[in-house]
Amino acid sequence: MKVLITDKINESAGKILEGVAEVVFMPTQTEDELCNIIGEYDALMVRSQTKVTKKIIDAATNMKIIGRAGVGVDNIDIEAATQKGILVVNSPDGNTNAAAEHTIALMLAMSRNIPVAAVSTKAGNWERSKFTGVEVFGKTLGVIGFGKIGSHVAQVANALGMNVVVSDPYTSQQTVEKAGAKYVNSLDELWPLCDYITVHVPKTRETMHLINKDTIAKMKKGVRLVNCARGGIIDEADLKEALESGQVASAAVDVYENEPDMSKCCLCCTDKNVVLTPHLGASTKEAQLNVAIDVAEQIRDVLSGGSAKAAVNIPALKPSVLEPVKAYMSIAENVGALAFQISNGSLKSINLTVEGKLADLDISPITIAVLKGVFSSIDEGVNYVNAPVIAKKRGINVVTSKSHNDCSYQGSITVKLLTDKDEVCVSGALITDGMPRITEINEHKMCIQPEEHMLVLPHENKPSMIAKVASVIAADNVNINKMHVADNVGSDPLSIMILSTETKVEANTLKQIADIDGIKDAKYIHLSA
């Protein structure tokens, strides 16, 4: 067995792995260089610097496991690894303290002008009045994302005497209030309340440029912003403009859209109060030791014939339990994801019901797949191992049930989500050809294949609705692959139009569709189909 380590990782990792494999440390390899040698190795261990592309994975003919010493796996092509049967693992908890502490450190540093004051003093100057700062005590901190890091930041901020306001539609109000913070239902409610705002969400299609010109305009004048999460969550150009206008008093940023190439970061070109650090959130001796040991142990266990505790892409379930329901895992995950993405408001509970032959089986893998689908849109660290833990930590009530009533399919999965604003219900099944199908959305019957890019459009059934929607989409140069219209049912006066598209439908196009007379809602859905 051979293990390749391509980034600077604590030496403890190598010592752990030496018991089962030959360990080779070869940093700063290019993509082509890695492709030339990767076929020799059974495992690869990286941090954030190495980009594990599809090309590299295709060349990894003996690869069994890729370990990311940290939480973020956006530098690894998960889909390519999964298709090739390569396990990907990470360390979702190892750097929590480090990232939270760096967030607080940056917030204090920009508040008290510490970086610029230090430079001035070292130059022999004494400019006390020039660097007068502000206190955080009594100020309101907005925390966007209340996972492991966000909740830790809130705890420390409380200890500093700050008032903490939280926006996280996937965490219950009770969980937030128990932590001593105030829960708000939306970001629009949070923006004007805060003196400071910090983001702790993954970089997804939904969170890219979450903080931009429009959202900054809704904030208090003189707000202070912190980003220790992922580059791109804050639009750097819009932030620079807001700093120069005074709408944002100061900012502290640890992550960037084009890191490590800082020549492309416009924040380096402003003389306004901005504190920049080179992605140091997880860069403590303790965090690097923790993630190195955690991931090395998982690689060791897998190479020794065991299992991983933090598998990102493959369920860590007993084969005897998984095998009978394995074919249903994909549709279960997509039913959960679809139900969540068409819902509105703060999630309160998840109800899963299975019918047909599934009612005679252990459905714990199905439950996990549904939870992974639900939370995959908002937590980059979610996997089959930690999905139930995430639900518990967020205070989400999960109820499962089995029905032995007659079923139109061999096995059917129904997910009902209850939020503080609505209730949605989505069903899925495998049809006779073994292909997954969405069979029902809010009592509207259908039989559609889950697709990567979809639109769900409740609407009034009247002439030219399809034509109007199609014209808006065509104007954005997006191709429609498939279309289905489910008529109104029961007391529901609305029909549902479901479109699959070749590419993502951008927010501005989605808004244009929503503005069409007769369209009652417009949801873009992204599935792992």
**Positions marked catalytic:** 230, 259, 279
C-alpha distances out from residue 67 to 28, 85, 348, Å: 17, 14, 34
Q: Sort residue 248 into left (φ over 0), alpha (ψ -120 to 50) or beta.
A: beta
- ∠ CA 216-261-267, rounded to 5°: 30
Number of Cβ within 10 Å of residue 123's Cβ equals: 8
> At 316, which amino acid appears?
A
Q: Which residues pair with 460 in a beta bridge?
A: 494
Residue 500 to residue 452: CA distance in whole angstroms: 8
Which amino acid is it at 442? N
Task: Supply 44's token pair.
Answer: 């690869």
Angle between helix 465-475 and helix 507-514 axes, rounded to 10 deg: 160
**Distance (Å) of CA 445 to CA 239, 403, 404:** 46, 19, 20
Which ranges in 401-519 belong to alpha helices (H)?
A: 465-475, 507-514
Residue 51: φ, ψ to 5°: -95, 110
DSSP 247: S
Distances (CA, A) of 427 to 19, 323, 364, 410: 48, 22, 18, 13
DSSP β-bridge partners for residue 411: 356
Q: At 451, which amino acid appears?
A: E
For 143, 313, 363, 413, the CA distances from 316, given in Å and listed in that order, are: 32, 9, 14, 21
SS3 159: helix
* Strand ranges (E), 150-282: 163-167, 182-183, 196-199, 223-227, 248-253, 274-276
C-alpha dihedral, 76 to 77 to 78 to 84, nearest 10°: -120
b/e per residue 367-397 (b: at least 16 CB within 10 A)? bbbbbbbbbbbbbbbbbbbbbbebbebbbbe
- Under 8 Å between Cβ of 230 and 239: no
